Amino acid sequence: MAHRHSSSIAAGLAILISVAWLSITFAAPAIPDYPIAYAVPEVEQVEAAVARVHDYIVTHSSLKIIDRNTRREIASPDFEKFNTNAIIDSSLGPFNRWDYPIGVILTSFDHLAGVTGKPEYRDYNMRFFNYTFTWMPCFRAMQEKTGRRNDYSRMAPPVTIRVFIGM
C-alpha cells in the first residue's frame, strides 16, 4: 500500500514538472505593458535630471542657524554666551540636518563629482561640512552646559565623523 502511494506521488510530481516545463518553454515572452513606453534615457537626459536634483537641494538648503524667537540668522557660534534659542533654519527645506537622507545625497554628489568632473557637486558637500562642523561643537557644548538636547544631539562624535570622511 505504501508503495502504491509513493508511485502515485512520484507520477503526480512528474506530471506537474512536465506541465510547468512546457508552460515555461512555449509561453510567449512576458513583455510589460506600461502606459508610457519606456526607453533608456540618453546621457544628456540623465545629466539634466541630476542637475535639477542638485539645484533643488542647493536652493532648498539655507545652511544657517537662526534664533527660534526672532527668526534672525546667528552669524557665528559663541562659546562664551550660548544662545539657547539657536536652531537649524529649515525654512527652505529639510536639507540642513545631519541625517541619513543627507548622507545619501552627499555621497551621491561626491560620486557625481568624480564621474562628471564637475566640481559644483563637491562644492555643496564642502559648504555643508563647513556649516555642520562649525556649529556642531557649539551645540554640543550648549547641551553639556544646559542639559537640553538640540538639533545636533543625535550626531556621532566628531572623531568618528572625521575618520569616516577621511579628515
DSSP calls for 52-109: HHHHHHHHT----EEETTT--B--S--SSS--TTEEE--SS-STTS-SHHHHHHHHHH
Question: Of 57-61, 104-108, 126-130, 153-157, which range is least confident?
Answer: 153-157
CA distance 93 to 88: 11
CA distance 15 to 104: 51
pLDDT digits (tens, 9 = 90+) for 68-98: 999 999 999 988 888 888 989 989 888 888 8
Q: Residue type for 82, please?
A: F
CA distance 133 to 155: 11
